Amino acid sequence: MKTLDDYKPIVGEAVVGQLYRLAEHLQNRHFVHINSTAVGGGVAEILSCVVPLLNQLGLKTTWEVIMGDPAFFEVTKTFHNGLQGYKVDLAPAMLEHYREINRQNARRFSWEADVVLVHDPQPASLIEMLRQQSRRWVWRCHVDASRPNLTVWRFLREIVKQYDASIFSMSQFAQNLPHPQYLIRPSIDPLSEKNRELTEEEIQAVLHRLGVEKDKPLILQISRFDAFKDPVGVIQAFRLVRRHTACKLLLAGGEATDDPEGPEILARVQEAARGEPDIQILLLPPDAHHEINALQRAADIIVQKSTREGFGLTVTEAMWKGRAVIGGAVGGIVLQLRDYHTGFLVHSPEGCAFRIRYLLHHPEMARRMGKTAKEFVRTHFLITRHIRDFLTLMILMNNPDNRLIQL
């Protein structure tokens, strides 16, 4: 099992030492994280890395996953789409079902916590049943809530305002709420199976096993099959590039158990890719961390052409691997990619095609941007920085009598 000390060679002794010092203030406190899927998507990715390390630091941290039926996840995907700005319909029966499934889940939970952190809208209404079971409740929003659909937000706001605080990934997502709001950037774990260093043999073995032939420059997008990830836009960009420059496109991704829209989007992607032999679509199982790591390292250019994005861990992962990354100029991607320095931001399939072509014709520039990107991630988006922010916030929230605390 990895320990915090294993991070010292990557981020330095001082950074790790500070985490031990901060954690001293929180020994034996009980924290509960709640989300709606154990695998698939960025939240599960983060919790699976962060929770074990918090326990190592002496915080009693548990992670609960709520259960729901397909109708529940239809409703919560509607919330998700609405929060990210889509026009959606919400029938009263849908809202009642959402609350009913949360009531059923609430009966399973009997902890007494210092702080409960509820991730995204799916489990948000648990607070209505379980308020007494924790001293503090924090709502952690991971989605791009920069322009929420008002019907959805008005409903969710009535629930969220019962919390003691909320956390967003960037200031543009913050809302009009009657409690303190905090900004914490997400992160990746450089020692996880998804991000650890791989040998060339390991990379080649994965390519061979997945049937990915690297006979031309490889362009890759890894993501759930979700409309906001714009896989069809990536195909349009690729078709424009392919007219003049030989290359291949790989779209790889799987499903998250809390996302019912995957099959429909996948069908649209397959339709858009029809008749193009240089486009490969790979369906990955939810635990394909090693495979994703290898694909990201094998790719020449990594694209994340989202039209909305809470943060975009796939961008961070690609940057950490020293890849040249092109991302949609939305949400958290903007925090990560700086034009000509750490990557390229684009606004359309045409812009994406332009940047792919540029990078294919300027491999030295691509390498330089990849190097800068890696150092940018080291400074801003690794798990140690994330844990530091989290510990600091928890210390603040556990200081009701305004004691003087040395951070």
Q: Which stretch binds ligand UDP (CB under 6 A): 4-12, 222-230, 350-358, 377-385?
A: 222-230
CB of 307: closest distance to ligand UDP in angstroms? 12
C-beta closer to ligand UDP: residue 114 or 120: 120
For residues 170-199, which are near ligand UDP according to CB under 6 A?
194
Q: How far apart are CA 31 and CA 54, in angstroms?
A: 9
Q: How far apart are CA 257 and CA 262, in angstroms?
A: 10
Of the CA atoms within 13 Å of residue 223, those in its CB half-sphere come to 29
Q: Which stretch binds ligand UDP (CB under 6 A): 96-104, 130-138, 313-321, 399-407?
A: 313-321
Residue where the block lists tokens 């490889």: 218
Cβ 114 vs Cβ 30: under 8 Å: yes
Q: Which residue is nearest to ligand UDP (CB)?
A: 42
- Counting contacts by CB under 6 A, is residue 273 touching ligand UDP? no
Quote the tokens at residue 42: 């960025």
Q: How far apart are CA 124 and CA 185, in angstroms?
A: 20
C-beta closer to ligand UDP: residue 41 or 123: 41
Q: How far apart are CA 154 and CA 369, in angstroms?
A: 42
The strand order across the sheet containing 181-183 reads 60-65, 30-35, 113-119, 134-140, 165-168, 181-183
Quick one: three-class SS letters along 365-395? HHHHHHHHHHHHHHHHCEHHHHHHHHHHHHH
- Counting contacts by CB under 6 A, is residue 224 touching ligand UDP? yes
C-beta closer to ligand UDP: residue 86 or 111: 86
Which residue in 311, 320, 344, 376 binds ligand UDP (CB under 6 A)?
Answer: 311
Q: How far apart are CA 6 and CA 16, in angstroms?
A: 9
- Counting contacts by CB under 6 A, is residue 292 touching ligand UDP? yes
Q: Which stretch binds ligand UDP (CB under 6 A): 262-270, 308-316, 336-344, 362-370?
A: 308-316
- Counting contacts by CB under 6 A, is residue 84 touching ligand UDP? no
Give the per-residue contact string, 130-169, with ligand UDP (x = CB under 6 A; - = no). ----------------------------------------
- Counting contacts by CB under 6 A, is residue 319 touching ligand UDP? no
Which uninterrupted H or E stretch holds 315?
helix 313-320
Which residue in 22, 75, 284, 303 binds ligand UDP (CB under 6 A)?
Answer: 284
Q: Which residue intervals of 1-113 are DSSP H helices?
A: 8-11, 13-23, 42-56, 70-83, 92-106
C-beta closer to ligand UDP: residue 42 or 121: 42
Q: Which stretch binds ligand UDP (CB under 6 A): 49-57, 78-86, 309-317, 346-354?
A: 309-317
Number of amino acids touching ligand UDP (CB under 6 A) = 17
Q: Which residues pair with 378 in a beta bridge?
A: none
- Counting contacts by CB under 6 A, is residue 230 touching ligand UDP? no
Q: How far apart are CA 400 and CA 182, in angstroms?
A: 17
Which residue in 253, 328, 343, 370 binds ligand UDP (CB under 6 A)?
Answer: 253
C-beta closer to ligand UDP: residue 194 or 248: 194
DSSP summary character for residue 143: S
Cβ 339 vs Cβ 369: under 8 Å: no
- Counting contacts by CB under 6 A, is residue 258 touching ligand UDP? no
- Counting contacts by CB under 6 A, is residue 45 touching ligand UDP? yes
Closest by CA position to 30, among listed 7, 59, 3: 59
C-beta closer to ligand UDP: residue 26 or 222: 222
Which residue in 23, 49, 54, 222 binds ligand UDP (CB under 6 A)?
Answer: 222
Quote the tokens at residue 119: 């991730």
Residues that bind ligand UDP (CB under 6 A): 41-42, 45, 194, 222-224, 253-254, 284, 288, 292, 311-314, 317
